[in-house]
Structure 1
Amino acid sequence: MDLAAADLSSVGVRMDQSSPEHYPIADFLKWHKEDSILLNPQFQRGSVWTPAARTYLVDTVLRGYPIPKILMRTSIDRASHRIFREVVDGQQRLQSIIDFGNDKLILGTRAGNFAGKTYSTLPEELQMKFLAYKITGEQLINATDDDVLEVFARINSYSVPVIEPELRNAAYDTDFKWSIYNKVRQWHDFWGLGVLSQRERVRMLDQSLMAEMYGVIMNGVTDGGQPRITKLYKAMTHFPDQTEVEQKVDDVLEILTRQILPNIKGEALCKAPHVLVLFAAVANEMFGIPAGDLELTNTERHPGALSRIDLAVENILFLNDVFKSDDPPANWQRFWRASKTTTHRISSRKVRFEEFSRALLPVHIGG
């Protein structure tokens, strides 16, 4: 069949779709003023954005970072020669942008140095940058409701399923969540050591690891796993000890990032499950951590720990060799098995915590 000459309805083609186009925000403000664009709540997915989320979106625009594209159903009125656009995906983004452009949104603390600003109180150069910022849009021309639903179904059918760290990032808007978010970005040198892969970081597993580090400082070593991390996020509706916890996390990461982990970069023990337990051991020797799910004797501090970083590095290199061995010595079988088994369980973490704590002492553990 010559498809070009065929009746398109006979082969299931029911709508036209434009190529992606880039529209400046000024266009959207103009269309909104002229009532030629509709933010259709009928297709809105999820709850209405919080003020913090709206602020963060505008901050993203002002700093020139990209935002996701939007989908618009476009209809052409032949009598009036007018084009009407109906936003079917991206309503909350556009509503936030339009409200800011019309001075109906005051930026909150998530906007950093833009906090407290409205559009009219921005410097002129930033106003121009905001208006000129281009949003990518796809037009679904003369699409029916069924067409739009079909588009959503197809997008979701080949999208990567959302995992728990991504759900947490969307669900929580607390000081705890944002502290973790900012701490992850602060410690780019730490991530550069290969603790997580880039693919894992894209899926926000860096925030999971950082959250567990916060949990170690606040609650000690416990069972792990994504549900346990989510429970921590849920419990942290308030964060009164934020400054103290952040400082302790920084102090431990300073030692790990600058003095210990560079020596095992790329090695087996320089991966998230083991680095977390090493973090706990270092934190305990520096200032003590709560007992958590460990026995109390395991959280006692040891005199002289961390006094010889060079020996600590040698010991951790030895433990790395044990971990990689196919047939470790009998007295290291327990550590070897704990490092190979389900590493988020407390039974595994307890054994590794004990050996990492010994490794921080000024003695050779492999002699």
Structure 2
Amino acid sequence: MADHGLKFEIESKTVAEFRSLDKSGELILQPEYQRKAVWPDRAKVSLMETILLGYPIPEIYLAYETTPEGEQTASVVDGQQRLTSLLEFLNNRFPLDGLEDEKLREKFEGKLFKELPDDVRQEFFQYRFPIRRLSNLADEFVRAVFARVNRVNMVLTEQELRNALLPGPFNDFLKDCVAHPISELSGVFSGERRKRGGDLEFYAEVFGTCIFGLSNKKTELNERYDKISADFEDYQDRSAEFLELLTVLSSTIKWVGRTRWSNIVDMFTLLHVSWGLREELANTNPEQTMQLRDLLDLFQRAVSARKRSGENGEANGLLVSLATMVNMTAEEVDKVIEQYTSGIRNSSDLGSRRVRSQQLTLLLSRKLKS
């Protein structure tokens, strides 16, 4: 058994003690490796109901760190959702809506914490949480405990585990991508995707594809992520190029409402294709940039029209306009749109990704080289 001088002490803390720790600033609810609070209200209410009933709750893992000056902090390794919900309830952030226990429902349904009777609040503050205390662990071991506990409980996504186990420059670069204006302009990430690290995973996969080429997501992502994370200095220049590419695309695309570029599949293809043409894109003059903007807008509208109406309808006029821009026949452009649209099915499949990239590259390269 590995001996890292780890101490795992078992103790307990009352609700009142957790509130005091939070007020004093000694409780760190969201260390860097933790995910954001994602519990829905019904889960929060269920936890409060459990406390009111006096039922047991799974133990909370706290990593204590004491400085030579005697200052102490407690970081939440496991139990962040529970403690965040608890403190929100104590601060009257949500009412007890949807209680399951009939007696509690009759007495407290719809009430905030401050509206509960004095004796109930007093008893609530005395409820004890079981605590697993981790004392003065090195950061790498705290992260390992966090990842292992959550892997066993199956509560983290793959990206949340990567965030915990692989901090550092690559993770910081991915955060820069997520914070880039293009992420907001495109509307490509839902709130739930952002909460669970899906935005970080998206950029990790796109960047890995730009560096190593197209692949099947499921089979290659983890291996590529580990490699780039371990040797990020080797990819520093290309990470700067990638961020610059995001800036170029931010000013090139027509961001009006939801477009095809608001979809993960299409945005992935756009970024991968644009990376291959990044030098040409960076050297366009204002007139060429406007033409590219129109081209990409016509393209995404034609794809959407094809998906809605098949062979005929709105797509025909868009095809003619596209054909004129790239000096192709409408029939040739129609084939490009047809093949690209077919590649949207089985979107993460290597063959589908290859088809989409080939067709978009064909149109963009013709325009850039004309």
TM bucket normalised to smaller: 0.5 to 0.7
1:334 and 2:358 correspond: no
The aligned residue for residue 303 of structure 2 is 320
- 2:271 paired with 1:266: no
Distance, in Å, in 1 between the alignment partners of 2:268 and 2:185 is: 16
Corresponding residue number in structure 1 for 2:224: 232
Find the aligned partners of 1:57 and 1:161 in 2 and give their Cα distance.
Answer: 17
Quote how far apart the aligned CAs of 1:280 are.
Answer: 1.0
Aligned mates of 2:224, 2:13 — CA distance in 1:
47
Q: Are residue 343 (structure 1) and residue 352 (structure 2) matched?
A: no
Secondary structure of residue in 1 paired with 2:273: helix
Q: Residue type matched to 2:166 in 1?
A: Y
State whether residues 306 and 362 of structure 1, in contact with CA within 8 Å, keep that contact through their aligned partners in structure 2: no
Q: Deviations over 1:230-279 (max 9, x none)?
A: 2222223121234312221112211222221514x412442112111111
Closer/same/farther in 2, CA of residues 27 and 286 from structure 1, 3 Å limit: closer
Q: State the number of aligned residues.
A: 243
Deviations 1:110-137, CA, capped at 9 Å, x for gaps: xxxxxxxxxxxxxxxxxxxxxxxxx959
TM-score of the two chains, using structure 2 as the length reference: 0.52
Residue 248, structure 1, aligned to residue 241, structure 2: yes
CA distance in 2, matches of 1:327, 1:344: 23
- Which residue of structure 1 aligns with residue 271 of structure 2? 279
Query: Where in structure 2 are there 5+ consecutive unaligned residues?
Result: 1-11, 40-57, 74-85, 91-123, 132-149, 281-286, 313-333
Provide the C-alpha distance between the structure 2 equivalents of 1:171 and 1:16, rounded to a whole number of angstroms: 28
Cα distance between partner residues in 1 of 2:178 and 2:195: 12
Deviation, 1:313, is: 2.7
Q: 1:255 to 1:23 in 2, by over 3 A?
A: same
Which residue identity does 1:234 align to in structure 2? D
Provide the TM-score with structure 1 as the length reference: 0.53
Of residues 189, 202, 207 in structure 1, which corresponds to 2:195? 202
2:76 equivalent in structure 1: none
1:222 alignment counterpart: 215
1:175 to 151, 169, 180: 169
Cα separation, 1, equivalents of 2:251 and 2:186: 10
Distance 1:140 1:198 in 2: 35
Are 1:268 and 1:323, in contact at CA under 8 Å, matched by a contact in 2?
no
**Cα distance per residue 1:128-184 (max 9 Å; x no partner):** xxxxxxx95996746789xxxxxxxxxx9xx98322111211221232223212332
Give the Cα–Cα distance (whole angstroms) in 1 for the partners of residues 155 and 32 of structure 2.
27
State the superposition RMSD in angstroms. 4.7
CA distance in 1, matches of 2:165, 2:15: 33
Structure 1, gaps ≥5 residues long = 1-14, 30-53, 69-86, 106-134, 146-155, 289-303
Q: Counterpart of 1:333 in structure 2: which amino acid?
A: E
Name whichever structure is richer in helix by fraction. Answer: 2
> What is the aligned-residue identity percentage?
13
